[in-house]
Chain A
Amino acid sequence: MQKITVLSLLFLTVSLGVSAQDYSNYSSLTSRAKALEKKYPTLVKVKSLTQTLGNKDIWMLTIGTGNTSEKPAIAVVGGVEGAHLLGVELAIGFAEQLLAQSGTDSIKTLLDKQTFYVFPNMSPDASEQYFTKLKYARSGNARATDDDRDGKTNEDPFEDLNGDGKITMMRIEDPTGEWLISEEDARVMVKADFSKGQKGKYLLLSEGMDNDKDGVFNEDGEGGVAFNKNMSYNYPNFVSGSGEHMVSEKENRALLDFLFEAFNVYAVVSFGPYNNLSAPVSFNKAGVGKRIISSWYKEDADVNELVSKSYNKLVKEKNAPATTGTPGNFAEWAYFHYGRFSFSTPGWWVPESKPDTTLKQKALTEKNGEANYLRWAEQQKASNFFTPWTVVKHPDFPEQKVEVGGVDPFAMINPPYTMVASIVKEHTEFIEALAKMAPEIETANLKIEKLDGGLTRISLDVINKGAMATQTKVGEKTNWVKDIHVALKSNGQMITGKANQTISAIPGYGSEHLTWLVKASGKATLTLESPSNGKKIISINL
């Protein structure tokens, strides 16, 4: 009896998960992952990579058939940034939609040939803040940190002064303030522009008190180290949220420990703030000339351009704002330090709003992101995106007018949930298209020439069938990407050529010519193998 209850409860949660009206919290994400494993036991394995300090599992889904660790793989990473709930949705949603198609011939073939490692949420401690009583945009995990380095941890958090369960902003009328109310939209605060002769009237601070009386507001609350600030590429030392040193956090270490041993991974797709899919990286010659490189190599940037074209064909939303990699971010790490093709997108951004002529709106001139967002959200008839400014009493400003309000946390980087399904669909199609560009080794033009005296010359071309190179240019230099290993086994003597050799990067649709001179007879076996490019065995009769 009890069993049945548990099962039906589980079923209920699962079906709720699928038809959810909002983003998934930790427990519903866990149910969604486990439901996939249950529904597709031969195609999915779910594993916890580690537990965060907040006691949350970092889930990893291995999707594929047979010996998954020996097939070329794409790693799909969500929850790169804790407040970016859509990233989690895109990663787990990709797994769900891919598996839903696993009955079709094309996906069946794909899952026989390739593996997908899906890490739906790398920031579960932080993203859970959206689902708790007090909502605020949070990037840091559950580590207690001393963000302001005063010897105390988490002593100056936000306070919900207007009691609405979310942290927005507060504006304080003050002659030393640098902020003004926007002329275009009275809900929006803008910085006074000296060149226009404007003088500020307001202080603008996040909602809360200066608990530790150090003159800074809410600078050391709950929220420790951010996954996307703790990576070893371009790491920011001693910055709030970056940790005590590079790769200090359990989440980061566990993912890297896995990835570095996953030699079959040829590409990493991450859903986070960095965007090299709407527009590809541009090659910068000076950036690869220094000891510490800061640009993609030309060959790799060309692949990025091709992949970006495919992305823009499949993803309808255009005019993505340009991004630069923030210090310590994951997406750039995946290229520069992991040596793999790394593609990243936030998946959604606020579209450019158009004035509603029926309301006699004019085009916005201030180029203000918030004003544009508010206009767009209203037109969408979205709810819960703005908190009207209301007066509160504030002990730190007893004599001054203090108002709390502004754009709600999470709103500007996560679309209304009704839009999520179609965004997930587009991105699933994109990853499937990306997998079709995977490097794959093939052989052609095998020639066996008999010479005098029992000598045989063997030659062939090793061809890369895929559009992506067999490894990146930067990967060629590291220990953490394998070359293609070529072994020729025969019963005789090798005159020229090597019994064992390696080939590094073969460009997309490129080839490499190999030749041997052997004094042997009978059967010989030629094996070509690389974990990220596949395996090919050829039997030769000499």
Chain B
Amino acid sequence: MKSTIKNIFYTLSITALTLQANAQEPNQIFKASGSPANPKVQVSWNKYYDYEGHVEIAKKLAKAYPDLVKVQVIGKTAQGRDLILLAITDYKSGGDPDRKPGMYIDGNIHSNEIQGSEFASYTAWYLAESFGDTPFIKELLHDKIFYIVPSINPDGRDNFIHEPNNANSPRSGMIAVDNDRDGQINEDGFDDLDKDGSITMMRRKDPNGRYKLDPTDPRRMVRVEADEKGEYEMLGYEGIDNDGDGKVNEDGEGFYDPNRDWAWNWQPNYIQGGAFKYPFSLPENRAVADFVMKHPNIAAAQSYHNNGGMILRGPGAAEDEGTYNREDVRVYDALGKKGEELIPGYKYLVVYKDLYSVFGGELDWFYGNRGIYTFSNELWNNFLMYDKPDEDPQASAYKFDKYLLFKDAFVDWKPYKHPQYGDIEIGGFKKNYGRMHPGFLLESDAHRNMAFTIYHAYHTPKLEITAIDVKDLGNGLKQVTATIYNDRMMPTHASQDRKYHIEVPDVVSLSGAKVLAGMIVEDKDMNIATEQKTDPTNIKLDNIPGLDKVMVRWIVSGGSKFTVKVDSKKGGIIEKTL
């Protein structure tokens, strides 16, 4: 059965990636606004791809757009797959690509939360395919670089897709863990008793049960009222007690949570459930962390999860509240609130306050350890599903399946003889329903979320030397004053960065004359400045704030042509000569 599923999947991928290219002639196509009409790389965005499928999309983009997309392997997964990253920028202009302000994007850190990969790959595809005819994207890729890891957890992704699972499994990665600590590993996981590729539910007729069939849709089980007699009992997910310990499905795949593995306020698994051995003991996360540390130009980041329609920022843990201070929260708020406008139904929230308090999350490491403004979007919410906001979401789910998906998302109840429970029935929603987008809604939400990350990336620093003023001081001395402006919302150093000196200061250098003294001008009108006594040629700035300017001044002797250079890890390198 498993191989049949794989075959079907394989056929689908082939259809999507190759056959469709010839479906219509270019002259038969009329462009819909905002979407690449006749892309070089044909991808159908109303279905999901396994990891190899995403690698394939990446390779085709790199082949079709060698000056825009480069694919690199940044590490190996636990099971030995190549972990790939797409670096997308205009390699022909804008200088050293790895010195442009960077936006990092990944998806699928939880194995079952797979659509983040489609959203990430859609972003890569859209940027490459729109570069030619969308001036905004052209300018964006001149200024910025996108680092996209379509799946940060490829082993888990393929397990979710190719093995029997439910919508919630596996959340874990694939390294075996002895959850019940009995010395045996993964010895009691789910069992796909009806061999249909999905782990659905088990129910049994029982006059003492507390469930009955919903009269409006008999597929659905509802709890009886307190004074009512029931007909069924629910027995949990499909499975048997494989190891004879009286428990069903208690030691399956994993369990650890790759999003509890990050080295900021990390805590062990008895404090923070899901933590693995030590921070970055998971090879996939370590590969990403190593990459990020080698790329201090990354100023912004997004990691895609599901579900609930949320734009989340840290802190993850209540204990970390002080880490996010007012100055940085202003930037987060401006971005997050814009996100709410761009993605209707999504709410901008803070993890520890609005969700749960959690240690060792990816977004906390990116911000706390690296000073990178980071969001995690929880993709998909009921708002997109069935327009009856006040109705019980479970009831809506059944109606949506019935009227829009024509019952494609449900496995009908069928009798089964269970070795421990006897005569039972098995049925319920398939694993691709409930947390994942139905096909026809996938592309639209991918686009909206991408638009949010583009807005986020757009607001990484953009530096400009707006003026170089020279004043003659007599005796052969000149005063050279340079004004440096940051034309975007994010500062070159988040306040967390400044607090711990995570990144080195921005350096403003003067060449073309002998520098006698150098200073940062605090107030030009009142002539208040702070002198930098050592190495005055290279003035160090703690920060260049967002949508604000900094003035630097030198007293020089000689020279008539002055070149000012700004070297900022997160703001890039710029130069101007007067």
**Partner of A499 from B184, B245, B267, B504 at Cβ < 8 Å:** B245
For B269, what are the chain A residues with a Cβ–Cβ distance below 8 Å?
A: 478-480
Which label, helix, strand, loop or mixed, suits the secondary structure of the B interface?
loop
Q: Verify if B94 is at the interface (C-beta below 8 Å from A).
A: no
In the bound complex, CA of A339 to CA of B271 (Å): 12
Chain B residue, CB-CB nearest to A477: B270
How many positions in chain A have a CB within 8 Å of any CB in the partner chain? 44
Q: Please judge, given known A-B contacts A232-B266, A238-B500, A245-B263, whether A482 and B183 are in contact too, CB under 8 Å.
A: yes
For B365, what are the chain A residues with a Cβ–Cβ distance below 8 Å?
A: 245
**Partner of A337 from B268, B501, B504 at Cβ < 8 Å:** B268
Q: Verify if B179 is at the interface (C-beta below 8 Å from A).
A: yes
Q: Decide if B369 touches A237 in the complex (CB within 8 Å).
A: yes
For B182, what are the chain A residues with a Cβ–Cβ distance below 8 Å?
A: 482-483, 485, 500, 502
Q: Decide if A500 touches B271 in the complex (CB within 8 Å).
A: no
Q: Verify if B293 is at the interface (C-beta below 8 Å from A).
A: yes
How many positions in chain B have a CB within 8 Å of any CB in the partner chain? 40
In the bound complex, CA of A494 to CA of B177 (Å): 28
Q: Decide if A246 touches B278 in the complex (CB within 8 Å).
A: yes
B281-297 at interface with A (beta carbon < 8 Å): 281, 289, 293
Q: Decide if B504 touches A149 in the complex (CB within 8 Å).
A: yes
For B534, what are the chain A residues with a Cβ–Cβ distance below 8 Å?
A: 212-214
Closest CB in chain B relative to A146 CB, distance in Å:
8
Q: Verify if A506 is at the interface (C-beta below 8 Å from B).
A: no
Closest CB in chain A relative to B351 CB, distance in Å:
16
Instruction: Indicate with 1 or 0, residue by residue over A231-275, a CB within 8 angstroms of chain B CB atoms.
Output: 010010110000011111000010011001000000000000000
Q: Verify if A529 is at the interface (C-beta below 8 Å from B).
A: yes
Q: Decide if B266 touches A498 in the complex (CB within 8 Å).
A: no
Instruction: Indicate with 1 or 0, residue by residue over A467-501, a CB within 8 angstroms of chain B CB atoms.
Output: 00000001001111111010000000010001111
For A151, what are the chain B residues with a Cβ–Cβ distance below 8 Å?
A: 504-505, 507
In the bound complex, CA of A501 to CA of B182 (Å): 8
Instruction: Indicate with 1 or 0, residue by residue over B390-413, a CB within 8 angstroms of chain A CB atoms.
Output: 000000000000000000000000
Q: Please judge, given known A-B contacts A149-B501, A150-B504, whether A481 and B279 are in contact too, CB under 8 Å.
A: no
Chain B residue, CB-CB nearest to A531: B183
For A322, what are the chain B residues with a Cβ–Cβ distance below 8 Å?
A: none
Q: Verify if A336 is at the interface (C-beta below 8 Å from B).
A: yes
Q: Decide if B179 touches A485 in the complex (CB within 8 Å).
A: no
Q: Decide if B245 touches A500 in the complex (CB within 8 Å).
A: yes
For A494, what are the chain B residues with a Cβ–Cβ distance below 8 Å?
A: 244
Q: Verify if A292 is at the interface (C-beta below 8 Å from B).
A: yes
Q: Decide if B279 touches A502 in the complex (CB within 8 Å).
A: no
Q: Please judge, given known A-B contacts A247-B263, A499-B245, whether A482 and B178 are in contact too, CB under 8 Å.
A: yes
Q: Verify if B140 is at the interface (C-beta below 8 Å from A).
A: no
For A485, what are the chain B residues with a Cβ–Cβ distance below 8 Å?
A: 182-184
Chain B residue, CB-CB nearest to A480: B277
For A244, what are the chain B residues with a Cβ–Cβ distance below 8 Å?
A: 293, 369
Q: Verify if A530 is at the interface (C-beta below 8 Å from B).
A: yes
Q: Please judge, given known A-B contacts A151-B505, A337-B278, whether A478 and B369 are in contact too, CB under 8 Å.
A: no
B352-366 at interface with A (beta carbon < 8 Å): 365
Q: Verify if B52 is at the interface (C-beta below 8 Å from A).
A: no
Q: Please judge, given known A-B contacts A246-B266, A292-B267, A499-B245, whether A238 and B279 are in contact too, CB under 8 Å.
A: no
In the bound complex, CA of A238 to CA of B497 (Å): 11
Q: Verify if A291 is at the interface (C-beta below 8 Å from B).
A: yes
A283-327 at interface with B (beta carbon < 8 Å): 291-293
Closest CB in chain B relative to A206 CB, distance in Å:
20
In the bound complex, CA of A254 to CA of B378 (Å): 35
Q: Decide if A247 touches B502 in the complex (CB within 8 Å).
A: no
- Contacts A/B (CB < 8 Å), 24 sampled: A149-B502, A212-B534, A213-B534, A214-B534, A232-B266, A232-B279, A238-B501, A244-B293, A245-B263, A246-B263, A246-B278, A247-B263, A247-B281, A253-B278, A256-B281, A293-B271, A337-B278, A478-B270, A479-B269, A481-B181, A482-B183, A494-B244, A498-B244, A500-B244
**A213-B534, A245-B365 known; 15 other A-B pairs, CB under 8 Å?**
A151-B507, A212-B534, A238-B500, A247-B280, A260-B278, A260-B281, A293-B271, A337-B268, A478-B269, A482-B182, A482-B183, A485-B182, A499-B244, A502-B180, A530-B183
List of 10 A-B pairs having minimum Cβ-Cβ separation, nearest first: A477-B270, A151-B504, A245-B263, A499-B244, A149-B501, A238-B500, A213-B534, A500-B245, A260-B277, A247-B278
